[in-house]
Amino acid sequence: MDYNEFLGRKVTTAQPSGFDVAELGEHLFPFQRDIVRWALRRGRAAIFAGTGLGKTRQQLTWADHVCRHTGGRALVLAPLAVAKQTIREAEAIGVRAAYSRGEPVDAPIVVANYEMLHAFDASAFSGIVLDESSILKAYDGKTRTQIVDTFARTPFRLACTATPAPNDFMELGNHAEFLGVMTRAEMLAMFFCHDGGETQTWRLKGHAQRDFWRWVCSWAALVRKPSDLGYEDGAYQLPELVTRHHVVATDEASLRGEGVLFALEARSMQERRAARKASAGERVDSCARIVNASNEQWLIWCDLNAEGDALESAIDGAVQVAGADTAEHKERAMLDFADGKIRVLVTKPSIAGFGMNWQRCAHMAFVGLSDSWEQYYQAVRRCWRFGQERPVEVHIFTSTLEGAVLANIERKERDASRMAEAMSAETMATVRANVHGATKRDVAKYEPRVPMRIPEWLKEERAA
């Protein structure tokens, strides 16, 4: 046996465990119906579809058919306020779903926030859906493990997100582990090698790249637009995104070190936070002047609590959603903004950056930036998503000493774009074939190489 043959024998794909459905209803577009049929056929699957491609409708349809097939119930876990938005979508497509914080509800599909996971008995559900499932990696290891362990015996599982691995292929392991395909440790051992002394630094093996993506495509559908599945993009064409940078002057005296003539650009995390605090007043004033002179609806993102408080005070009619607010206030404010009842919403990407549909708004500002590219990407995509009919303006306010933060975000954005192109190039043909049902079920063939030796006692005939 040569090395290539040895590697060939190690190739693995996730086996389907679901069922076939002929009709899914007219509330889905053709490409969405293909994805849902595939996910139901898989039984345990991930939908990695771009923002605005209708993941909410797809996951509700998937959950509805799981309930019909099993006669059981399905649980949908979603970020705060997104759960109520999901209920609205269910009503629009005629699917029975109810929001719950642990109390009994009379509906086959139960929608809840991630924070309420402890209030539900996983054994009561035949299906589980993780909406915005990339949120798994934002949790600490204990909570992530809790989610994986809680639903390890749930027959049908679905994970949905637009950013499964924004800057690191290894993050796909979180989804594979949740779906019961392979543990993260097994994935690393099979497809990655460890570089250097840093335990978190892993690199995809060169010879394993094609097999890795084939494996991913056996349980995940990576779709950025309908044409990835052979359909016309039609209305799924994004309008222009206009990014405007505003750099404000900084009081450098408080940031200069002893014996230093000029303050240097902030590099470390501590230096960047110090620079951000020192320039907060100037950035807030600069943003407030632009927003107060506009009659448009605005979404303002901040990073520090002090920024949020100052923005709420400086901008006419602004409503802030902060971490200390009650869940009821957060949900009400975010839904009111979606309905156009609030002109200016001030909040953080960590609070409202995932899942909300705010296409009616075409103006946003970042008055504070963290180093998370995924948070920035998801925050922008709350407005700049399929269904948006106007060009979207994004205003970024930084100080003269915060160039490293913006440069870091831009670098990660380039890395993510290259990763998305690589994922698309490696997976498009396979995803299209799998979703359209053109591929056959993979079966591991057994080819004996050593003769079986049967013991003599087994050969003897014995009287009954």
Mean pLDDT of 286-302: 97
CB contact at 8 A, 335 and 81: yes
- Quick check: 284 pLDDT over 80? yes
The predicted structure's pLDDT at residue 265 = 52
The model carries a pTM of: 0.79
Mean pLDDT of 291-311: 95
The predicted structure's pLDDT at residue 138 = 53
User: Tell me: the pLDDT tens digits for 85-140?
Assistant: 999 999 999 999 999 999 999 999 999 999 899 999 999 999 999 998 887 775 55
Q: How confident is the model at residue 13 (pLDDT cuts 50, 70, 90)?
A: low
How many Å apart are CA 383 and CA 365, to the nearest integer?
11
How many Å apart are CA 49 and CA 265, to the nearest integer?
38
How many Å apart are CA 217 and CA 428, to the nearest integer?
9
- Quick check: 302 pLDDT over 90? yes
User: Tell me: the pLDDT tens digits for 411-431?
Assistant: 877 777 776 676 667 667 777
Mean pLDDT of 440-448: 53
User: What proportion of the chain, given as a percentage, has pLDDT over 90?
Assistant: 48
Mean pLDDT of 6-25: 70
- Quick check: 263 pLDDT over 60? no
How many Å apart are CA 461 and CA 443, to the nearest integer?
36
The predicted structure's pLDDT at residue 6 = 52
The predicted structure's pLDDT at residue 433 = 77
Instruction: Tell me the torsion sign for CA atoms 431, 227, 354, 400.
Output: positive
- Quick check: 62 pLDDT over 80? yes
The predicted structure's pLDDT at residue 264 = 45
How many Å apart are CA 177 and CA 141, to the nearest integer?
13
Mean pLDDT of 137-144: 66
The structure tokens listed for 35 are 């994805």
Q: Which of 3-12, 46-55, 252-261, 306-315 is predicted with the least confidence, judged by mean pLDDT?
A: 252-261
> Bigger pLDDT: 446 or 205?
205
- Quick check: 454 pLDDT over 60? yes
How many Å apart are CA 280 and CA 308, to the nearest integer?
10
Mean pLDDT of 365-373: 86
The predicted structure's pLDDT at residue 186 = 87
Q: How confident is the model at residue 340 (pLDDT cuts 50, 70, 90)?
A: very high
Contacts of 384 (CB under 8 A, 6+ apart): 238, 239, 241, 392, 394
User: What proportion of the chain, given as a percentage, has pLDDT over 70?
Assistant: 83
The predicted structure's pLDDT at residue 345 = 98
Mean pLDDT of the chain: 84
Contacts of 4 (CB under 8 A, 6+ apart): none
Contacts of 123 (CB under 8 A, 6+ apart): 153
- Quick check: 442 pLDDT over 50? no
- Quick check: 444 pLDDT over 60? no
How many Å apart are CA 460 and CA 464, to the nearest integer?
12
The predicted structure's pLDDT at residue 1 = 54
Domains of the chain: 9-235 (3.40.50.10810), 241-413 (3.40.50.300)
| Distance (Å) of CA 325 to CA 126, 318, 328 | 34, 15, 8
Q: Which of 6-20, 100-114, 210-224, 432-446 is predicted with the least confidence, judged by mean pLDDT?
A: 432-446
The predicted structure's pLDDT at residue 44 = 96
